[in-house]
Structure 1
Amino acid sequence: MKMRLLFGSACAAMAIAVATPAAAHDSGETVKPIFQQTISNIPGKSLIAVVVDYKPGGASQSHTHAKSAFILGYVLSGAIESQVNDGPRRVYRAGESFYEQPGSRHPVSRNASKSKPAKLLAVFVVDTDDKELTTPVK
């Protein structure tokens, strides 16, 4: 059982390492992994958290996430404009949250301010063996 936990943790760590370059680019955002752990009572699932720092006017490229990923986005500071799938664009302020169902597309994720930074916590519940958490939409 310990070997399975160790293997799961290693896979989750690899997923974070692979996902970070895909999500971090020169558009005014920085992605920092802060937590990863297999979920012991849900075999094959992991919990992964990243913090996305947006510079004033910064944005994420349109993207999708791992098909297994359920995601909670929580605004730590500032204001984030977000759109999931074809839903409405909405501005979320510090203390507000949104979610993405597995298989969702995230066409808009950006700092709503041109003058102040913003920070987002993204928490993923994902299949432990998923290798890429974020894939840019071309």
Structure 2
Amino acid sequence: MSITWNKSRPAGIITPTFSYELADNPALSVVGLRVEYPPDGSTPPHRHGTASVIAYVISGSILSAMNDGEAKVYKAGESWYEAPGCHHRISDNDSKTEGAVIHATFIIKTEILVADGPEVLVQIDEEYLEGAMEQMGRKL
């Protein structure tokens, strides 16, 4: 399956849900983000830096592909794991008519989160950054 990103598609809406240093290991923090995708919503290719990520589909279905792996559709109640350094080639709402919601939980070194801020959690690939800014700007 060929995977392409198109900036004319609507962007997901990201809402922070929590951020905590782990009490038994303050060198690590856990951060939650809720991503609401409108129908046909899309996120450009990106990485999550040094964070480990667990994504859980709350509603709808998400087409996801990482590194050189095949794209897979995850439905409500399903989840996937992304190791640090993974390249998330695509994250799309798989429906043209229904919305989709995921919750992503990040585990990251506290010093990196403090030094770089929450922007470190979602790093859009450089060649897509300008288009992503245009995509996100349309909903403001």
For the aligned pair, the TM-score class normalised by the smaller chain equals: 0.7 to 0.9
Cα distance, 1:90 vs structure 2: 0.2
Structure 2 counterpart of 1:122, from 104, 111, 121: 104
Give the alignment partner of residue 45 of structure 1, picking from 7, 11, 28. Answer: 28
Query: How many residues matched?
Result: 112
Q: Which runs of 5+ in 1 are unaligned?
A: 1-25
- Partners of 1:28 and 1:136 in 2: CA distance: 13
What letter is aligned with 1:101?
Answer: A
1:96 aligns to 2:78 (yes or no) = yes
Following superposition, the deviation at residue 80 of structure 1 comes to 0.4
After TM superposition, the runs of 4+ consecutive aligned structure 1 residues lying more than 6 A away are none
**2:43 pairs with 60, 63, 70, which one?**
60
Residue 34 of structure 1, CA deviation? 0.4
Q: Partner residue of 2:58? A: 76
For 2:108 and 2:34, the matched residues in 1 are separated by 17
Question: Superposition RMSD on alpha carbons, in Å?
Answer: 1.1
Partner residue of 2:17 out of 9, 34, 43: 34
Q: Please give the alpha-carbon distance, in whole angstroms, between the structure 2 residues aligned to 1:39 and 1:73.
A: 19
The answer as to whether partners of 1:73 and 1:120 remain within 8 angstroms in 2 is yes
Distance in 2 (alpha carbons) for counterparts of 1:87 and 1:107: 9
Q: Displacement of 1:33 after TM fit?
A: 0.1
- What percentage of aligned pairs have identical amino acids? 36
Gaps of 5+ in 2: 1-8, 128-140
Letter in 2 for 1:33: P
Give, in angstroms, the shift of residue 41 of structure 1.
1.4
2:90 and 2:78 mapped to 1: Cα distance?
Answer: 17
One-letter amino acid of the counterpart of residue 15, structure 2: K
TM-superposition CA deviations, 1:73-109 (whole Å, max 9, x none): 0000000000111111000000000010011110110
Do 1:111 and 1:118's aligned partners in 2 also have CA atoms closer than 8 Å? yes
Query: Which residue does 1:17 correspond to in 2?
Result: none
Where does residue 14 of structure 1 map in the other structure? none
- Distance across 1 between alignment mates of 2:122 and 2:98: 25
The DSSP-based 3-state class of the residue aligned with 1:114 is coil
- Identify which of 65, 69, 76 aligns with 1:87: 69
Q: Decide whether the 8 Å contact of 1:28 with 1:56 is kept in 2.
A: no
